[in-house]
Amino acid sequence: MLKKLGLCAAFATLLAIAMFAGNAAADEWVNMFDNETLFGWASIGDAQWQVVDKNIVCDGGTGGWLASNCQLADFELVVKMRVAADGTAGLAIRAGLDGHPSENGGATIVLAEPKGSKPDWREITVIANGDKITAKMDGKDIEVIGGGAKRGHVGFQYHREGKVEIASARMRPLNTKPIFNGKDLEGWNIIPGHKSEFKVVDGAINIKNGNGQIETAGTYKDFVVQLDVFSNGDHLNSGVFYRGPVGVFWKGYECQVRNEWAGDDRSKPKDYGTGGNYGNQPARKVVSSDREWFTLTIVCEGNHTSIWNNGYLVSDYFDARPVSPESQGKEGFVPGPGTIHLQGHDPTTDLSYKNIVLAEFPAK
């Protein structure tokens, strides 16, 4: 009897873990740096940043920093950096682009190697959570200078002398909450008068048949959303819309869902490709494949959207256009807020969406 009770307790524990894990995307982590290019980053100042042997390298210029195009709020960041002997560098957190981070509410973590030392790779882990920012280097607590901003850019600072190298920078959002409960369509509204069929199957929203739309009851402006997607067919077409007007069909910005590319070249997406900002910027590579679960991460803040597919940054779009009369993301800037909605595209549609979680950004 005791053995049976022990097995039951173990099973219950495993079930609870599985249910808890179901509230998050399959892989919450995204790569801020792709080890190939500086896509998604902006150089500020005179520092000379480049990619050499799969690392970001800076060893020239009179100073400056490399800032992420996207802004972040609550997150965990793990960076692998190396600084030359007798050199210093900085890691900026939640920084603005106007002036030094210490002047705009950003936080800074300083790396310094003494003269005559042998430079080694350091792993820096930063947790920005609400009003608190903490950091560790190689597992030991280190000082965080400044802070106060609730959102901002992350980046690397070059302090005039000494070579700086970055091998990796991985980030995962914190404090996301489910906006789909995995059981029914509570909290979601179906736009009437269209052909799509929406059902919850095996913990996912399944969309079949002709065009249609299901949207969140809530509206969101600046946020990060993560979700897992499955395309049960060849090159099926769907999309994740955001900042959509309530109850209006297929308006707002669209993160395209279509795993198709030209020939054998995934860098040539068809119809913008999965993760492309539809009508504005195609995905630079189709990372995902049909009949396999993949994870999309969308960070929408102000007039900028970054989209990762399976942790790879596929689109990075600044919308500098005037506001369109009908706030249509394909024709002009959408100031938001709006719904997040999932698209049924045509009679071949057969896609599933699960583990849909979101964190809104705090007010500026």
The DSSP string of 145-199 is EE---SSBEEEEEE-SSS-EEEEEEEEEE-S-EESS-SSS-TTEEEPSSS--EEE
For 1, 3, 252, 296, the CA distances from 13, given in Å and listed in that order, are 18, 15, 42, 29
Model pTM above 0.85: yes
Is 265 strand, coil or helix?
Answer: strand
Helix, strand or coil, per DSSP, at residue 16: helix
d(CA 246, CA 24): 26
d(CA 37, CA 27): 23
Cβ–Cβ under 8 Å, residues 72 and 155: no
At residue 130's C-alpha, the angle toward residues 127 and 132, to 5°, is 55
Residue 10 CB neighbour total at 10 angstroms: 10
- DSSP for residue 143: -
Q: How far apart are CA 71 and CA 284, in angstroms?
A: 21
Residue-wise burial string across 311-322, b where 16 or more C-beta atoms lie within 10 A, e elsewhere: bbbbbbbebeee
Distance separating alpha carbons of residues 184 and 175, to the nearest angstrom: 23
Residue 166's DSSP bridge partners are 56, 81
Per-position pLDDT tens, the chain of length 364: 334 334 344 434 333 333 333 456 668 999 999 999 999 999 999 999 999 999 999 998 888 999 999 999 999 999 999 999 888 899 999 999 988 887 888 999 999 888 878 889 999 999 999 999 999 999 999 999 999 999 999 999 998 778 999 999 999 999 999 999 999 999 999 999 999 999 999 999 999 999 999 999 999 999 999 999 999 999 999 999 999 999 999 999 999 999 999 999 999 999 999 999 999 999 999 999 999 999 999 999 999 999 999 999 999 999 999 998 666 778 899 998 999 999 999 999 999 999 999 999 998 7
**CA separation for the pair 176, 183 (Å, rounded):** 19
Under 8 Å between Cβ of 268 and 261: yes
